[in-house]
């Protein structure tokens, strides 16, 4: 047998997981290669440690003392912060972008299954007049922001915001192909880096790795918190070092309103000397089922809605706002130093147990088992599980209507759907135009109840800038402003 076989077999046997070779003798040569390739990707000692820690540690939520965010770690773009201060943060962020000090990490491992699509969620068309995908909208925001930041550059060096895109096994090929087919949406392929999310085996309740087939262990993505191990394993941290980039913005692909590499957020976090930052939106109501950023046992954390007592969730300040009001939206800032430090802390991070129905092969009979009830454990870590390890946290409250419109549910479902995503972008475009002094009116044939169909490409405006020529102009919709030429030549009614 090849040395690799014996080495891997010994390692799994010594770790108490030798049963993964139960059917070795009856496998074909191809199936044996498949099994060895799968097992070679699993650090069996590490996954055993993760399983043991997760199943023997009392969840912190059961013992926690909660406190609201300290004022020193919180600011709001909605209330309490003057326009001059926000402009200062924005300019600080733009200067850092102009110095090539900022990169972006995108969490894009999910498929559009709940949307009725097997494609990566970033490929989804939410129904804009331009039919741009989520990936394209975000790529064009990067292109525009690089151009906006150019006026803050001191030299002639090209301004680059590298885009690191975390994919999963099921989405990797489709995502990379989609980018190639669309010529990377105008970005330099050298600055679009794909890296793969990790997986963890599924376990029996006794801690044994399930075999999905005779030649394949049962594995599942390790949660969006798997990003930290993946950044090291896939060479992203090394690439940040090579490029000399100290600051990173991270977000999820399904938010159509996301301000990619938002200079206001970057500037705020850097001015706060934060090593980790988070954007938050005000809770819609005390019982909104969202995680809240607060202190847990004196450390920053995201506490799930189910972990907060109802009376505590309803507690209000003198101004009427909720005490526990900072709803987490998985939109984060990190220093590269913090990402390096977190990677070294893996043994202290808390993995979460999810009891699941896990299809597997019966080791005694070789039969495929499809359980009718939960029979095993999947482990995952959440991206916010690193918050307790931050030394200096900064939370920035932002307006939901301007920056957060998640795409979670199928067309026609009413909330967090393609229709709400489309309406939220069109509404924002109308606000951009009206803030620039334009009047937006609906053309004939449009439902009076509908949002005016005005789409302003991110290539034209990142956050409302660059629309000065619309002042005193009436825009009759539907209308797409795809480039500067469209803005100049827009029909005046």
Give me the residue spans of the domains in the chain. 60-403, 432-489
Q: Which residues are within 8 A (CB) of 258 and not within 5 positions of it... i.e. 6 or more apart?
A: 138, 141, 251, 252, 331, 403, 404
Contact by Cβ (8 Å): 457, 147: no
Alpha-carbon distances of 293 from 121, 214, 278, 303, 308, rounded to whole Å = 26, 44, 9, 6, 12
Strand 292-296 to 66-67 pairing: antiparallel
Token code pair at residue 336: 């590269």
Tell me, what's the pLDDT at 60?
A: 58
Contact by Cβ (8 Å): 235, 196: no
Contact by Cβ (8 Å): 54, 351: yes
Q: What is the DSSP string of 361-382?
A: E-TTT--EE--SS--EEEEE--
Coil/strand/helix, residue 267? helix
Coil/strand/helix, residue 276? strand
Please report the beta strands in 323-375, taking only residues with DSSP state E, as ranges in sequence order.
326-335, 352-356, 360-361, 368-369
Contact by Cβ (8 Å): 368, 212: no
Reported residue count of the chain is 493
Q: What is the CATH number of domain 60-403?
A: 3.90.550.10
User: Is it true that the peptide bond before 389 is cis, omega within 30 degrees of 0?
Assistant: no
Tell me, what's the pLDDT at 59?
A: 64
Angle at 165 between CA 163 and CA 171, to 5 degrees: 150
Strand 352-356 to 376-380 pairing: antiparallel
CATH architecture for the domain at 432-489: Ribbon (2.10)
Which is nearest to 117 in space by CA: 77, 64, 170, 169? 170
The C-alpha atoms of residue 142 and residue 162 are separated, in whole angstroms, by: 9
Cα first-last separation, the chain? 80
The C-alpha atoms of residue 380 and residue 47 are separated, in whole angstroms, by: 11
Please report the beta strands in 426-478, taking only residues with DSSP state E, as ranges in sequence order.
439-442, 454-456, 474-477
Cα 327 from chain centroid (whole Å) = 15
Which is nearest to 96 in space by CA: 27, 166, 154? 154
Contact by Cβ (8 Å): 249, 329: no
Contact by Cβ (8 Å): 462, 141: yes
Tell me, what's the pLDDT at 306?
A: 85
Q: What is the pLDDT of residues 290-334, one digit of tens each?
A: 999 999 999 999 998 888 889 999 999 999 999 999 999 999 999
- CA torsion sign for 52, 54, 55, 58 is positive
Coil/strand/helix, residue 254? coil
Indicate the burial class of 84 (C-beta count within 10 angstroms; 0-12, 13-18, 19 or more): exposed
Angle at 310 between CA 309 and CA 312, to 5 degrees: 65
Give the global pTM: 0.92
Tell me, what's the pLDDT at 483?
A: 84
Q: Which residues are within 8 A (CB) of 455 and not within 5 positions of it... i.e. 6 or more apart?
A: 128, 129, 130, 425, 426, 429, 479, 480, 481
Q: Which residues pair with 133 in a beta bridge?
A: 125
Query: Within the chain, which residues score under 70 in pLDDT?
Result: 1-3, 58-63, 447-449, 491-493
Indicate the burial class of 141 (C-beta count within 10 angstroms; 0-12, 13-18, 19 or more): buried
Q: Which residues pair with 480 in a beta bridge?
A: 455
């Amino acid at each position: 047998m090849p040395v690799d076989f014996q080495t891997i077999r010994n390692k799994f046997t010594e770790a108490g997981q030798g049963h993964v070779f139960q059917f070795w003798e009856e496998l074909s040569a191809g199936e044996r290669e498949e099994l060895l390739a799968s097992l070679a990707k699993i650090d069996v000692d590490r996954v055993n440690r993760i399983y043991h820690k997760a199943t023997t540690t009392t969840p912190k939520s059961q013992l926690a003392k909660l406190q609201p965010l300290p004022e020193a770690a919180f600011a709001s773009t909605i209330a309490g912060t003057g326009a001059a201060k926000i402009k200062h943060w924005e300019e600080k962020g733009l200067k850092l972008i102009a110095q090539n000090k900022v990169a972006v990490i995108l969490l894009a491992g999910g498929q559009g299954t709940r949307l009725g699509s097997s494609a990566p969620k970033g490929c989804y068309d939410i129904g804009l007049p331009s039919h741009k995908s989520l990936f394209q909208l975000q790529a064009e925001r990067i292109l525009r922001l690089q151009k906006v930041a150019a006026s803050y550059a001191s030299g002639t060096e090209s301004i680059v915001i590298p885009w690191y895109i975390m994919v999963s096994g099921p989405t990797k090929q489709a995502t990379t192909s989609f980018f190639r087919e669309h010529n990377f949406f105008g970005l330099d392929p050298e600055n679009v880096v794909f890296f793969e999310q990790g997986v963890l085996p599924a376990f029996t309740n006794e801690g044994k790795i399930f075999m999905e087939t005779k030649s394949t262990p049962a594995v599942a993505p390790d949660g969006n918190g798997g990003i930290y191990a993946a950044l090291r394993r896939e060479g992203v941290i090394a690439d940040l070092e090579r490029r000399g980039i100290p600051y990173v913005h991270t977000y999820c692909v399904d938010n159509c309103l996301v301000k990619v590499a938002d200079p206001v957020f970057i500037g705020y976090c850097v001015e706060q000397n934060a090593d980790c930052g988070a954007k938050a939106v005000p809770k819609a109501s005390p019982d909104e089922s969202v995680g809240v950023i607060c202190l847990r046992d004196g450390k920053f954390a995201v506490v799930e809605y189910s972990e907060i007592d109802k009376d505590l969730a309803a507690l209000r300040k003198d101004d009427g706002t909720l005490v526990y009001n900072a709803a987490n939206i998985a939109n984060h800032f990190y220093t590269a130093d913090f990402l390096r430090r977190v990677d070294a802390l893996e043994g202290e991070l808390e993995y979460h147990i999810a009891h699941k129905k896990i299809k597997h092969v019966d080791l005694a009979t070789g039969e495929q088992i499809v359980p009718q009830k939960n029979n095993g454990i999947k482990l995952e870590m959440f991206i916010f599980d690193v918050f307790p390890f931050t030394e200096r946290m900064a939370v920035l409250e932002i307006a939901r209507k301007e920056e957060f419109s998640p795409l979670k549910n199928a067309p026609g479902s009413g909330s967090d759907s393609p229709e709400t995503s489309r309406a939220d972008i069109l509404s924002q475009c109308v606000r951009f135009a009206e803030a620039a002094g334009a009047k937006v009116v609906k053309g004939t044939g449009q439902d009076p109840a509908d949002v005016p169909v005005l789409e302003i490409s991110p290539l034209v405006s990142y956050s409302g800038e660059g629309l000065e020529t619309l002042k005193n102009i009436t825009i009759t919709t539907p209308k797409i402003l795809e480039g500067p030429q469209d803005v100049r030549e827009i029909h005046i009614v």
